[in-house]
Structure 1
């Protein structure tokens, strides 16, 4: 029997179920009408005007397949990010007006040549900052994404403040205090150059950290989004938000003419910008491991297994860890999981030559012998810690052929040493006690590491992507041999 009609059920990229009747059979049309009302959450293709408008806006500004192709924290981050974009666009108008006045706009005694030379000087500072910043911060952006994303806006706001106050610096006269104090015009030039350098550094840091966040948002647990489309949609939203802020600012800025009103408006906008950015970064739930997140996870895991029952071990989820993270923190710091106090410091990827300057020669020799079979070597600095800081200073050297898992093991070993060290009755153990701590914690790590990694995987962590060490190590140990063998080879 030939078919006269069919009812086709389709699911679009947003997860909505749509029904289409192919044919003219009356019974099939009845089935279609009855079927489309049954499933919960389904939508007919013929929608109300406001629903069609909402879906059109979603298609323009949200990624295809939303919310299935992005992580759950995507929306919260984007809402706060749009708020901070709006505040930044408004404060940027005040900064632009201040920079123009600093270049001589409105000053009858200023010349176009002076403004040009000042622009060139500011551009030179910006370009040199980009080169130097890429060298020092390039390898740190991915491991410490949240820290540098927030830090970028702190730098940007500093640049905005310098641009805004630059016209008022010319009124400062401190020559009566000291002849070595710069004049007001010199302070203005310094402020404008520093502003350009900071704005350049902000673009560098924000661009790198934003790329890491975009890669995170496009990697939900059960699917994969399009990184390119996420960047395009983010640019569309930023354009609309920035344009709205600029249009609104053109109506408000002409009324902000006095110094008091300018500083008041700048304070409110900068405060709102930083608050929105902090909430945006705080809402991100990363599943990759870095030093701080692995420290929180390991401390919680070890505290739950002190009684010896490994089956009762507790492993925090990525959401729980995100609530405990400190946004602005030094990666080398080792903190206690409960009190968050600093209990030590660790440096990964140092050279043996550097370790020799911080540790006793006998200690270095014994550690090299003890870690002969390991892909890393761990040293404990002198009693005052690394660079005089509280707690043990732990230095880690890597051997040729190490991988990311070895970096994690070395960092966890450093965490265990710092925790054991902080529990001692004295903060200055002897050399033998220090070596015993290293040996005991090494054995503890050997017993617990496999179980810990399994718990991380069950809790939803991405153990394949970890970033304990920022960049490459300064040097890698290729081998070791006694001085006697080296002399025999040299004489042979």
Structure 2
């Protein structure tokens, strides 16, 4: 190895190949570029990116940034219309009237948020992609009402404004709850807080750019209704398209009813030859609508007896029906009964994750293979579930909590091993 300090060069010999490297001295421009890149990386990217996040982080965040830009533009259009609704520019408008309208709006939003959380809050984790996409649908619907309000008779102003506030509040609940679950999935190094912080930085920057761009657009529109509606439709469509692509790109490895249904149907159709991976399932998950799941998990014993009676109306009592079901599923931590729409499953309070997977597999196999009764369903499970589970465990995270269309009931009955 030969070194020349005077001209700042180093001559290196590796495997007989001579390489001349320039010194470490860099130009001011290059130093500035490095400093800007370092600042951007520290401010906008999670620490140790990309190894600290999952592979689907980048495509999701790119779409998230683009949809944030579009939503900010439509939000500015809605704000302009809201000011008109409150009477900005109208000599007859009063501060008291605007205050009352604001109070009614905020109150409606708060009440709507509470009622929505009561009805749907427990189902967010089960259908993350559906609710994440729905959040932006609610947002665009709220902006639509904001823009529509000034064009309605004055007596409808308050009602329309309150409806928009409710939709905006529901958007906040669904977006906030599902976003947390999605970012938890991205975090590979227990860096959820870092990912959240960097997402906020990204959103702040893109919102600042969108505010400048949106202000220019609003000035060009000159409150022309055709322009405003055209811009709203254009950016709302882009908003929903980017959000759809982003949500679709997320690849979860935990199991939900929707993912399990896709996996089990493929497995049964291939007669056990194919076990779909998370990346194969992701493009098939429901986003626009809640999936139809024929297996109802975690019902009460009373409800199970009611469902079983629909298939055996001549039985004398619910107790006899439950005794027959207990005998059919002896030794199992679940009992299943055929219903007109699928299969209902009662779960024992000692059931574990694997038992829930088995019960769900049993229900879907019973429906898809059109097995005649509980005895046939149990016989099928006895010979086919264990190979399915072993294959499933190689591709999916089977140890995490399952979200299986669960009604939450757990019951107790005597568990006796079947001979």
Q: Same fold (TM over 0.5)?
A: yes
Matches within 5 A, 1:3-402: 48-49=30-31, 50-170=33-153, 185-219=154-188, 224-256=189-221, 257-305=223-271, 313-331=273-291, 333-334=292-293, 345-360=294-309, 362=315, 364-381=322-339, 385=340, 392-402=341-351
Is the contact made by 2:130 and 2:290 (CA closer than 8 Å) also made in structure 1?
A: no
Post-superposition shift, 1:446?
2.8
Distance verdict in 2 for CA 1:248–1:30, change over 3 Å: closer
Q: Deviations over 1:186-240 (max 9, x none)?
A: 3322211111111111111111100100010013xxxx24110000000000000
Structure 1 runs of 4+ off > 4 angstroms? Answer: 29-35, 44-47
Q: Equivalent residue for 1:10?
A: none
Post-superposition shift, 1:406?
2.2
The CA RMSD measured in Å over matched residues stands at 2.7
Question: 3-state SS of the aligned residue for 1:417?
Answer: helix
Cα distance in 2 for partners of 1:97, 1:73 equals 36
Is the contact made by 1:411 and 1:468 (CA closer than 8 Å) also made in structure 2?
A: no
Cα distance in 1 for partners of 2:382, 2:169 equals 46
Is the contact made by 1:149 and 1:205 (CA closer than 8 Å) also made in structure 2?
A: yes
Query: Are 2:353 and 1:404 aligned?
Result: yes
Name structure 1 gaps, 5 residues minimum: 1-23, 39-43, 171-184, 335-344, 386-391, 422-433, 482-492
TM-score, reference length from structure 2 = 0.86
Post-superposition shift, 1:154?
0.7
Cα distance in 1 for partners of 2:259, 2:165 equals 34
Is the contact made by 1:350 and 1:395 (CA closer than 8 Å) also made in structure 2?
A: yes
Post-superposition shift, 1:162?
0.8
Q: Equivalent residue for 2:20?
A: none
Distance verdict in 2 for CA 1:412–1:328, change over 3 Å: farther
Is the contact made by 2:142 and 2:163 (CA closer than 8 Å) also made in structure 1?
A: yes
Is the contact made by 1:77 and 1:284 (CA closer than 8 Å) also made in structure 2?
A: yes
Alignment size in residue pairs:
391
Post-superposition shift, 1:369?
2.8
Post-superposition shift, 1:45?
7.8
Is the contact made by 2:129 and 2:286 (CA closer than 8 Å) also made in structure 1?
A: no
Higher relative contact order (CA 8 A, sep 6+): 2
TM-score, reference length from structure 1 = 0.74
Is the contact made by 2:255 and 2:403 (CA closer than 8 Å) also made in structure 1?
A: yes
Post-superposition shift, 1:148?
0.9
Is the contact made by 2:257 and 2:405 (CA closer than 8 Å) also made in structure 1?
A: no
Distance verdict in 2 for CA 1:63–1:437, change over 3 Å: same
